[in-house]
A and B are shown apart, each in its own frame.
Chain A
Amino acid sequence: MSLTTLTYAQAAALALQEAMRADNAVVALGEDLGRGGVFGQYRGLQQEFGRDRVIDTPISEANIMGAAVGMALAGLRPVVEMRVIDFALCAMDEIVNQAAKNRFMFGGQGRVPLVARLPIGIWSASAAQHSQSLEAWFAHLPGLVVATPATAQDNYSLLKASLASGDPVIYMEHKELWGVEGTVDTALEVKLGQAKVMREGGDLTVVTWSRGVAPALQALELDSLDGVDAEVIDLRTLWPWDKAMVFESAARTGRLLVVHEAVQVAGFGAEVAASAAEATGCRVARLGAPRIPVGYAQVLENESRLSPEKIAAAALALCDARR
Chain B
Amino acid sequence: MPLPRLFDLYRLMRRIRAFEDAAEVASQGGVAAWGLQASAKPALVRGPLHLSTGQEAVAAGVCLNLRREDLLTSTHRGHGHTLAKGANSAAMMCELFGRASGTNKGKGGSMHIADFSVGMLGANGVVAAGIPIATGAAQALKIRKLPHIVACFFGDGAVNRGPFLEGLNWAQVYQLPVLFVCEDNRISATTPTGAMTAGAGVSARAEAMGIAALKVDGNDVQAVDAAAASLIRDIRAGLGPRLLHAVTYRFKGHVSVDPGTYRDAAEVEAAKRSDPLLVAQHQLLAQGATQADIDEADRAAQAEIAHALQVAEAAPWPEAQAAYDDVMSAGDGVWR
| Contact A109–B140 (Cβ < 8 Å) | no
| Contact B170–A240 (Cβ < 8 Å) | no
Q: How far is the CA of A201 from the CA of B116 in the complex (A)?
A: 52
Output the nearest chain B residue to A59 by Cβ-Cβ distance.
Answer: B166
Q: B163 contacts the other chain (Cβ, under 8 Å)?
A: yes
| Contact B114–A106 (Cβ < 8 Å) | yes
Given A74-B71, A94-B129, A108-B325, verify A63-B139 contact (CB < 8 Å): no
| Contact B162–A62 (Cβ < 8 Å) | yes
| Contact A106–B112 (Cβ < 8 Å) | yes
Q: Which of A68, A98, A109, A192 has the most CB of B within 10 A?
A: A109
| Contact B327–A104 (Cβ < 8 Å) | yes
Q: Given the complex, which residues of A lie within 8 Å of B105, measured CB to CB?
A: 107-108
Q: Given the complex, which residues of A lie within 8 Å of B126, measured CB to CB?
A: 93, 97-98
- In the complex, how many residue pairs between chain A and chain B have their CB atoms under 8 Å apart? 161
Q: B13 contacts the other chain (Cβ, under 8 Å)?
A: no
Q: A53 contacts the other chain (Cβ, under 8 Å)?
A: yes
Residues of chain A at interface, number, CB under 8 A: 50
Given A58-B169, A70-B134, A103-B326, verify A109-B114 contact (CB < 8 Å): yes
Q: Give the Cβ gap from A151 to chain B, nearest Cβ, in Å.
A: 20
Given A66-B167, A167-B329, A243-B335, verify A106-B108 contact (CB < 8 Å): yes
Output the nearest chain A residue to B173 by Cβ-Cβ distance.
Answer: A58
Q: Give the Cβ gap from B148 to chain A, nearest Cβ, in Å.
A: 9
Q: B122 contacts the other chain (Cβ, under 8 Å)?
A: yes
| Contact B121–A63 (Cβ < 8 Å) | no
Interface residues of A in 179-196 (CB under 8 A from B): 192-193
| Contact B331–A63 (Cβ < 8 Å) | no
Q: Give the Cβ gap from B163 to chain A, nearest Cβ, in Å.
A: 5
Q: B125 contacts the other chain (Cβ, under 8 Å)?
A: yes
Partner of B132, one of A63, A145, A193: A63
Q: B135 contacts the other chain (Cβ, under 8 Å)?
A: yes
Given A66-B135, A105-B108, verify A193-B122 contact (CB < 8 Å): no
Q: Which of B104, B131, B141, B327 has the most CB of A within 10 A?
A: B327
Q: A165 contacts the other chain (Cβ, under 8 Å)?
A: yes
| Contact A66–B136 (Cβ < 8 Å) | yes
Contact bitstring A71-104, B, C-beta under 8 A = 1, else 0: 1111110100000000000000110011000111
| Contact A60–B166 (Cβ < 8 Å) | yes
| Contact A165–B129 (Cβ < 8 Å) | no
Interface residues of B in 62-110 (CB under 8 A from A): 71, 73, 102-108
Given A103-B326, A106-B114, A167-B330, verify A63-B163 contact (CB < 8 Å): yes
Q: Given the complex, which residues of B lie within 8 Å of A53, measured CB to CB?
A: 143
Q: Give the Cβ gap from B295 to chain A, nearest Cβ, in Å.
A: 37
Q: Given the complex, which residues of B lie within 8 Å of A142, measured CB to CB?
A: 327-328, 333
Output the nearest chain B residue to A162 by Cβ-Cβ distance.
Answer: B330
Residues of chain B at the chain A interface (Cβ within 8 Å): 71, 73, 102-108, 112, 114-117, 121-122, 124-126, 129, 131-141, 143-144, 150, 162-163, 166-167, 169-170, 173, 325-331, 333, 335-336
Add 16 more A-B contacts to A98-B126, A107-B102, A165-B329 (CB < 8 A): A52-B143, A63-B132, A66-B135, A70-B135, A70-B137, A71-B137, A71-B139, A73-B121, A98-B133, A105-B108, A107-B106, A142-B328, A144-B328, A192-B330, A240-B335, A242-B336
